[in-house]
A and B are shown apart, each in its own frame.
Chain A
Amino acid sequence: MSLNNGGLELGWGGETLLICPEKAVFWKKRKALFVADTHFGKAATFRKSGIPVPETSSRDDCLLLEQLVSRTKAETLVFLGDFLHAREGRTEEVRLDLIAWRERLPKLELHLVRGNHDLRSGDPWPELGIKCHPEPWREYEFELRHHPVERSSKPYLAGHVHPGFALRERGGTSLRAPCFQVGEERIILPAFGDFTGLRKVVPGEGDRIFMTDGREVLEVPARGWKSTTPNWKRKV
Chain B
Amino acid sequence: MRIDEAHRKATGLFRKRGWRVFKFQRDAWKAYASGESGLVHAPTGTGKTYAVWFPPLAEWMTGQRRGKSAPGLQVLWITPLRALVEDTRLSLLELCEELEVPWTVEARTGDTSGALKARQRRRLPSCLVTTPESLSLLLSYPDFKESASELKAVVVDEWHELLSTKRGTQTELCLARLRKWNPSLRTWGLSATLGNLEVAMSALLGTNAEGTLINGGMKKKFVIETVVPKSLERFPWAGHLGGKLVEEVAKRIEGAQTSLVFTNVRSQTEYWFNALLLVRPEWEGLIGIHHGSIERKSRREIEDRLRTGEIKAVVCTSSLDLGVDFSPVDQVIQIGGPKGIARLLQRAGRCGHQPGASSQVVCVPTQAMELVEFAAARDAMEDKRIEKREPLRAPLDLLAQHLVTLALGEGFREREALEEIRSAWSYRDLTDEEWGWTIDFLVKGGKSLKAYDQFKRVTRKKGLFRVDSRRVERFHRMSIGTITSDPAILVKMRSGKSLGTVEESFVSRLKPGSNFFFAGRLLVLDRVRDLTAYVRLAKSKKGTIPVWGGGKSPLSSELADTVREKMREVSNGSLKGREMKAMKETLALQAEWSSLPGTDGFLIEKTKTRQGTSWFLFPFAGRLAHEGMAALVAYRMSKLEPMTLSVSFNDYGFHLCSNTDRDVGVSEWKSLLSPDGLVDELVACMNLSEMAKRQFREIARVAGLVFQGYPGSPKSGRQLQASGGLFFDVFSKYEPDNLLLIQSRREVLERQLEVERMREALARIREQEFVLNHPARLTPFAFPLWAESIRAQLSTESWGDRVRKMSEKLEVSA
Answer yes or no: do A and B interact: yes
Interface positions of A (Cβ within 8 A of B): 42, 44-56, 85-86, 88-89, 91, 117, 120, 170-173, 194-197, 200, 230-236
In angstroms, Cα B725 to Cα A87, docked, is 25
Query: Which residues of A are found within 8 Å of B687, using beta-carbon distances?
Result: 172-173
CB pair B475 A232 closer than 8 Å: no
Which one of B449, B455, B647, B690 lies within 8 Å of A50 (CB-CB)? B455
Taking the closest CB of chain B, its distance from the CB of A63, in whole angstroms, is 15
Query: Which residues of B are found within 8 Å of A51, using beta-carbon distances?
Result: 457, 704-705, 707, 720
CB pair A195 B454 closer than 8 Å: no
B518 within 8 A of A: no
CB pair B704 A236 closer than 8 Å: no
B42 within 8 A of A: no
In angstroms, Cα B707 to Cα A200, docked, is 20
B17 within 8 A of A: no
CB pair B446 A54 closer than 8 Å: yes
Report the nearest B residue to A89, measured CB to CB.
B719
How many chain-B residues does the 8 Å CB contact rule pick out? 48
CB pair B455 A232 closer than 8 Å: no
In angstroms, Cα B704 to Cα A117, docked, is 24
Taking the closest CB of chain A, its distance from the CB of B714, in whole angstroms, is 15
Contact with A along B618-661 (1 / 0, CB 8 A): 00000000000001001101100000111110000000000000
Query: Which of B387-395, B662-670, B730-738 faces chain A?
Result: B730-738
CB pair A50 B789 closer than 8 Å: no
CB pair A171 B455 closer than 8 Å: no
Contact with A along B717-731 (1 / 0, CB 8 A): 001101101110011
Interface residues in B247-299 (C-beta closer than 8 Å to A): none
B471 within 8 A of A: yes
CB pair B726 A52 closer than 8 Å: no
Beyond A47-B455, A233-B646, is A197–B789 a contact (Cβ under 8 Å)? no
In angstroms, Cα B722 to Cα A217, docked, is 25
CB pair A231 B792 closer than 8 Å: yes
CB pair B722 A54 closer than 8 Å: no
Which one of B445, B508, B634, B719 lies within 8 Å of A47 (CB-CB)? B445
CB pair A54 B454 closer than 8 Å: no
The 9 lowest CB-CB distance pairs between A and B, nearest first, are: A50-B457, A52-B445, A54-B734, A50-B472, A86-B719, A233-B646, A230-B792, A236-B638, A47-B455
Query: Which residues of B are found within 8 Å of A52, using beta-carbon distances?
Result: 441, 444-446, 449, 455, 457, 705
Most A CB within 10 A of own CB, among B455, B457, B471, B634: B455
CB pair B730 A56 closer than 8 Å: yes
Query: Which residues of B are found within 8 Å of A117, using beta-carbon distances?
Result: 719
Taking the closest CB of chain B, its distance from the CB of A213, in whole angstroms, is 13
CB pair A232 B646 closer than 8 Å: yes
DSSP class of B's interface residues: helix, strand, loop or mixed? mixed
In angstroms, Cα B508 to Cα A195, docked, is 25
In angstroms, Cα B444 to Cα A15, docked, is 50
In angstroms, Cα B731 to Cα A50, docked, is 16
B514 within 8 A of A: no
In angstroms, Cα B731 to Cα A194, docked, is 12
CB pair B645 A46 closer than 8 Å: no
In angstroms, Cα B720 to Cα A85, docked, is 10
Taking the closest CB of chain B, its distance from the CB of A182, in whole angstroms, is 22
In angstroms, Cα B726 to Cα A194, docked, is 9
CB pair A236 B455 closer than 8 Å: no
Beyond A54-B735, A235-B644, is A230–B720 a contact (Cβ under 8 Å)? no
Interface positions of B (Cβ within 8 A of A): 441, 444-446, 448-449, 452, 454-458, 469, 471-472, 475, 508, 631, 634-635, 637-638, 644-648, 685, 687, 690, 704-705, 707, 719-720, 722-723, 725-727, 730-731, 733-735, 789, 792-793
Can you give 25 A-B contacts (C-beta < 8 A)? Answer: A45-B720, A47-B452, A47-B456, A48-B456, A49-B475, A52-B445, A52-B446, A52-B449, A52-B705, A54-B448, A54-B449, A85-B719, A117-B719, A171-B792, A197-B722, A197-B725, A197-B726, A200-B508, A232-B646, A232-B792, A233-B792, A234-B646, A235-B644, A236-B634, A236-B638
In angstroms, Cα B722 to Cα A218, docked, is 26
CB pair B734 A234 closer than 8 Å: no
CB pair B722 A195 closer than 8 Å: yes
In angstroms, Cα B446 to Cα A50, docked, is 11
Query: Which residues of B are found within 8 Å of A56, using beta-carbon distances?
Result: 730, 733-734
Beyond A56-B734, A232-B648, A234-B647, is A50–B705 a contact (Cβ under 8 Å)? no
Query: Which residues of A are found within 8 Å of B448, using beta-carbon distances?
Result: 54
Beyond A173-B687, A230-B792, is A50–B469 a contact (Cβ under 8 Å)? yes
In angstroms, Cα B735 to Cα A211, docked, is 26
A-B contact count (CB 8 A): 105
CB pair B634 A45 closer than 8 Å: no
Query: Which residues of B are found within 8 Å of A55, using beta-carbon distances?
Result: 449, 734
In angstroms, Cα B173 to Cα A68, docked, is 52
CB pair A47 B793 closer than 8 Å: no
CB pair B719 A45 closer than 8 Å: yes
In angstroms, Cα B508 to Cα A200, docked, is 11
In angstroms, Cα B726 to Cα A196, docked, is 8
Report the nearest A residue to B700, measured CB to CB.
A51
Query: Which residues of B are found within 8 Å of A86, using beta-carbon distances?
Result: 719
In angstroms, Cα B788 to Cα A230, docked, is 13
Query: Which residues of B are found within 8 Å of A44, using beta-carbon distances?
Result: 454
Query: Which residues of A are found within 8 Å of B445, using beta-carbon distances?
Result: 47, 52-53
In angstroms, Cα B731 to Cα A195, docked, is 11
Query: Which residues of A are found within 8 Å of B720, using beta-carbon distances?
Result: 45-46, 49, 51
CB pair A50 B792 closer than 8 Å: no
Taking the closest CB of chain B, its distance from the CB of A51, in whole angstroms, is 6
Taking the closest CB of chain A, its distance from the CB of B576, in whole angstroms, is 36
Report the nearest A residue to B633, measured CB to CB.
A236
Most B CB within 10 A of own CB, among A51, A55, A197, A235: A51
Taking the closest CB of chain A, its distance from the CB of B206, in whole angstroms, is 29
CB pair B644 A46 closer than 8 Å: no
Report the nearest A residue to B645, measured CB to CB.
A236
Query: Which residues of B are found within 8 Å of A173, using beta-carbon distances?
Result: 687, 690
Query: Which residues of B are found within 8 Å of A45, using beta-carbon distances?
Result: 719-720
CB pair B471 A49 closer than 8 Å: yes
CB pair B685 A236 closer than 8 Å: yes
Beyond A48-B455, A197-B726, is A232–B647 a contact (Cβ under 8 Å)? yes
In angstroms, Cα B444 to Cα A232, docked, is 45
Known: A53-B727, A56-B733, A231-B792. 10 other contacts (CB 8 A): A51-B707, A51-B720, A54-B731, A173-B690, A194-B730, A197-B723, A197-B725, A232-B647, A234-B631, A234-B646
In angstroms, Cα B237 to Cα A208, docked, is 43
In angstroms, Cα B707 to Cα A172, docked, is 28
Taking the closest CB of chain B, its distance from the CB of A217, in whole angstroms, is 20
Query: Which residues of A are found within 8 Å of B705, using beta-carbon distances?
Result: 51-52
In angstroms, Cα B723 to Cα A233, docked, is 31
CB pair B719 A88 closer than 8 Å: yes
Taking the closest CB of chain A, its distance from the CB of B304, in whole angstroms, is 39
In angstroms, Cα B735 to Cα A54, docked, is 7
Beyond A45-B720, A234-B646, A236-B685, is A50–B730 a contact (Cβ under 8 Å)? no
Query: Which residues of A are found within 8 Å of B508, using beta-carbon distances?
Result: 200
Most A CB within 10 A of own CB, among B445, B448, B644: B445
Taking the closest CB of chain B, its distance from the CB of A48, in whole angstroms, is 5
Report the nearest B residue to A91, measured CB to CB.
B454
Which one of A85, A170, A195, A236 lies within 8 Å of B635 (CB-CB)? A236
In angstroms, Cα B397 to Cα A52, docked, is 13
In angstroms, Cα B634 to Cα A42, docked, is 44
In angstroms, Cα B469 to Cα A48, docked, is 10
Taking the closest CB of chain A, its distance from the CB of B531, in whole angstroms, is 13
CB pair A47 B454 closer than 8 Å: yes
Most B CB within 10 A of own CB, among A45, A172, A230: A230
Taking the closest CB of chain A, its distance from the CB of B587, in whole angstroms, is 28
In angstroms, Cα B685 to Cα A230, docked, is 17
In angstroms, Cα B726 to Cα A195, docked, is 7
In angstroms, Cα B704 to Cα A173, docked, is 27
CB pair B469 A54 closer than 8 Å: no
CB pair B685 A170 closer than 8 Å: no
Taking the closest CB of chain A, its distance from the CB of B229, in whole angstroms, is 29
Taking the closest CB of chain B, its distance from the CB of A236, in whole angstroms, is 4
